[in-house]
Amino acid sequence: MNHSKSENETKTNAYQFVFQKLNRDEPLPLQAFEGKVILIVNTASKCGFTPQYEGLEALYQRYKNKNFVVLGVPCNDFGNQEPGSGNEIGQFCAINYGV
């Protein structure tokens, strides 16, 4: 049994975490947002809370000039509520919520 920790599990500072960009095969390090207020939201397009995307976009628009960002992190770990590919998720968000 392998007990080694994943790369992100060994991080001790939030800015050391790295996400994957939705529609591209490239990293998105949180360090790129250093000095900003970051709201990280676990998302799933088939979740009952998906309509909150609209409110999250409004929140971002209201505070973006004050160094505020919202990062949606798709997750399919809870009841297969996000089975789409990065491109499919991106299209869904663009069509339905303008993000």
**Measured between alpha carbons, how far is residue 33 from residues 16, 38, 67, 98 in Å?**
11, 7, 9, 22
For 46-81, give the DSSP string.
TSTTTTHHHHHHHHHHHHGGGTEEEEEEE--TTTS-
Which one is catalytic: 47, 56, 59, 71?
A: 47
Active site residue 47: yes
Is residue 24 helix, strand or coil?
coil
Count CB neighbours of 82 within 10 A. 21
- Known catalytic residues are 47
